[in-house]
Amino acid sequence: MKSGSIAIVGAAESTDLGKIPHMSQIQLHADAALNTIADAGISIADIDGIATAGESPTAIAHYLGIKPTWVDGTAVGGCSFMLHVRHAAAAINEGLCNTVLITHGESGRSNIGRGGRPGGAATLQGQFENPFCTMGPPTVFTIPFLRYMHETGTTLEQLAMVAVVQREWASKNPRASFQDPVTVDEVMNARMIAYPFTLLECCLVTDGGGALILTSADRAKDFPTKPVYILGTGESVETPMISQMDDLTRSRAFRMSGEKAFAEAGITHAEVDHMMIYDAFAHLPFYGLEDLGFCKRGEAGAFIEERNTAPGGQLPLNTNGGGLSYMHSGMYGMYALQESVRQMRGTAPAQVENAEISVCHGVGGMFAASGTVIMGNVRP
């Protein structure tokens, strides 16, 4: 990094050290963070980047009330914080954020509320969500949708149509897990998992892997592949608890991530030829289309129902079949990236003719986090 381009402007430790039986681990992070914010003479609202280890950065951001455009949870042991400084420096220099908070907190002796393992009984989820007998993402990630329907007039038929259209795309992909077409009736009458979501509105559970190699645009000409340029990126986190979303009908993390990516890329929505919206469940495309500004509030249902995202439509979406039909191993984002890359290279089984710009948008956890990558095959 450019020597001397970045400075530390706030530094403080927790109020106490040694034996602190009156603070849980997450509160040790917060106590140190509040002392540091006071040291720097700013408020929590001034923080737009968060890095931490030992607790999830989503949990820390939620707990402290941070709305970040840059998030780092690199956890490689005790020196993680040195790496956070390094990563923060690169992020600030690249304009991903302006003011980064790096936190640590550890109840190493008293062992109070040691997070790490999500779902421990003393974590936030362990206290305020798990006791209500949640049974994984199909019973939690799906909770916001009835509210979204209530506020937008979206119908269950429109939800089913998401699965129908993506199966059409999957049928063109030899590697897709499910390729047979389905109808709206078949989707709605499939086995109910968590009302209103049926089996065909929930992602698959499969195995697989994927990888990417990146380098500078200047070096790309030395490689045998058609370069796919990164035009813009975004990221954000909101909360590890679905019950604590600011608004169950919109994802703040989606919106913040999408805004940054579009601002960096300097493109309009009309210029987008192809899109991937990580579809862990059938309602995710509604949120992605609206929160990223492709559809007005409440109009995504009709947009998909009217075949705008289907083969032949103006905005081909999830052209591999998505998490609903192609594959989903638990963390699907790599597959969305792979399909966007194929589309930009011109090698996708369901290739969109002359596609030049792809928006690849992912969710993490259950509306907990988001990342957006806009790619193109024409170097700006």
d(CA 332, CA 201): 16
In the complex, the smallest distance separating the C-beta of residue 179 from other proteins, rounded to whole angstroms, is 27
Are 250 and 361 spatial neighbours (Cβ–Cβ below 8 Å)?
A: no
Tell me which H or E stretch contains 358: strand 357-364
Handedness of CA 205, 256, 140, 136 (dihedral sign): positive
Q: Which residue has the tokens 């192809």?
A: 274
| Residue ranges in 247-276 that form contacts with other proteins under rule CB under 8 A | 248
Give the residue with the Cβ less far from other proteins, 26 or 91.
26
Cα dihedral across residues 174, 345, 280, 136: positive or negative: positive
Instruction: Choose, by CB under 8 A, the member of 13, 39, 65, 111 that binds other proteins.
Output: 65
When binding is defined by CB under 8 A, the residue of 51, 55, 63, 165 that contacts other proteins is 63
CB of 245 to other proteins, least distance (A): 8
Least Å distance between CB 182 and other proteins? 20
Q: Is 326 in the site for other proteins (CB under 8 A)?
A: no
Give 57 or 316: the residue with its C-beta nearer to other proteins.
57
Best CA proximity match to 370, nearest among 355, 360, 357: 360
Residue carrying structure tokens 């059938």: 282
Do residues 81 and 102 make contact, with C-beta atoms less than 8 angstroms apart? yes
Q: According to the binding rule CB under 8 A, does residue 142 interact with other proteins?
A: yes
CA distance 247 to 73: 25
293 binds other proteins (CB under 8 A): no
Instruction: Report if residue 127 touches other proteins, rule: CB under 8 A.
Output: yes
Task: For residue 21, state whether it binds other proteins (rule: CB under 8 A).
Answer: yes
Indicate which single residue of 121, 205, 217, 378 sits in contact with other proteins (rule: CB under 8 A): 121
Distance CA 163, CA 29 (A): 42
CA distances from 127 to 4, 77, 133, 261 (A): 45, 27, 11, 35
Shortest CB 191 distance to other proteins, Å = 8
Two tokens, residue 90: 């690169």
CA distances from 96 to 202, 236, 250 (A): 33, 11, 23
Locate 25 and state its tokens: 């681990």
Among 228, 206, 231, 254, residue whose Cα is nearest residue 369: 254
Among 1, 8, 108, 128, binds other proteins (CB under 8 A): 128
- For 373, residues 6+ apart whose C-beta sits below 8 A from its C-beta are 230, 232, 233, 261, 337, 340, 359, 360, 361
Per-residue burial over 139-173, b if 16 or more Cβ lie within 10 Å, else e, is: ebbbbbbeebbeebebebebbbbbbbbbbbbbbbb
The verdict on 9 binding other proteins (CB under 8 A) reads no
Among 146, 190, 220, 302, binds other proteins (CB under 8 A): 146
Least Å from the CB of residue 135 to other proteins: 6
Minimum Å gap between C-beta 164 and other proteins is 21
Shortest Å distance, C-beta 134 to other proteins: 6
Q: Which one of 126, 227, 311, 349 is in contact with other proteins (CB under 8 A)? A: 126
Q: Which is nearer to other proteins, 122 or 334 (CB)?
A: 122
Nearest Cα to Cα of residue 283 among 229, 370, 363: 363
Which residue among 100, 101, 102, 124 contacts other proteins (CB under 8 A)? 124
For residue 133, state whether it binds other proteins (rule: CB under 8 A). Answer: yes
Based on CB atoms, which residue is closest to other proteins, 34 or 334?
Answer: 34
Is residue 145 a contact point for other proteins (CB under 8 A)?
yes
**Which of 6, 75, 89, 143 contacts other proteins by CB under 8 A?**
143
Question: Does the protein bind other proteins through residue 192 (CB under 8 A)?
Answer: yes
Q: List residues near other proteins by CB under 8 A.
A: 21-24, 26-27, 30, 34, 37, 43-44, 62-65, 112-113, 120-122, 124, 126-135, 138-140, 142-147, 150, 191-197, 241-245, 248
